[in-house]
Amino acid sequence: MRSSHQLPRFRDVSTLYIDTVKDDGWFLKAINTFVSKELKILGITEIMIGIIQVVFGLPLNFEESYIFAVLLGVPWWTGILYIISGSLVVDIINTSNIHLKQAILLMHIVSTIAAAVGSGMYLLSLSLMEPLNSSFYLLGPLFMILFLTVLSLLEFLISSSILFLHCTLLLHTIDEMGLQMLPGSHH
């Protein structure tokens, strides 16, 4: 065996590596804080999209109740799911309870599926609507359905992004918990 004074170059590298690991721990915490703030912003956006879905669904229900998406209640159930998903992110994203974090994850899986189904229903409704030259009064509902379609597609992107970011945070938290449970770790 060689002594450590025979290999000074390797000893310096290992010391440098330990400093780098400490710096990475700080860096990961900074990323964790940044991602948590971004998730809250996306959650607030989800709440707003949900409210708009419900609010725009009301006049469609009273004026143009024959629209396929309105008949299925798409503006209401998607809007409520978006509001619940966004509220969970905003309220409990910084909790240390792993079960609550899993609830956020599960709700966003449901929200992503609802956004995809809702977008499909709105697109189907647009294809089933009468041609524009038949009535001037169809312009309002057409634009509202088009707007709700865009919002559902946006919700799909946001919910998918939250799923990705939240999974990253969850894996980081589980990894940190695993490191803290190792014997001899001083985190």
Q: Is residue 113 part of a domain?
A: yes
The reported pLDDT for the residue numbered 11 is: 44
Q: Is residue 170 part of a domain?
A: yes
**What's the whole-number mean pLDDT along residues 103-110?**
89
Q: Is residue 6 part of a domain?
A: no
Closest CA to 49 of 83, 72, 87: 83
CA distance 185 to 152: 46
Q: Is residue 133 part of a domain?
A: yes
CA distance 49 to 16: 48
Domain that holds residue 77: 46-175
More confident of the two residues 48 and 98 = 48
End-to-end CA distance of the chain: 32
Q: Is residue 22 part of a domain?
A: no
- Contact status, residue 155 vs residue 46, Cβ threshold 8 Å: yes
* Residue 80, C-beta contacts closer than 8 angstroms, at least 6 positions apart: 50, 54
Total of domains in the chain: 1
**pLDDT tens sequence across 85-100:** 999 888 877 777 778 8
Read off the pTM.
0.72
Q: Is residue 29 part of a domain?
A: no
The reported pLDDT for the residue numbered 124 is: 92
Q: Which of 9-18, 20-29, 73-82, 101-110 has the lowest mean pLDDT?
A: 9-18
For 18, the enclosing helix (H) or strand (E) is helix 8-63
Q: Is residue 130 part of a domain?
A: yes
- Percent of the chain having pLDDT more than 70? 71
**pLDDT tens sequence across 57-79:** 888 887 766 788 888 889 999 99
**pLDDT tens sequence across 157-179:** 999 988 888 787 777 767 766 65
Q: What tokens were used for 97?
A: 């309870």
Q: Is residue 183 part of a domain?
A: no
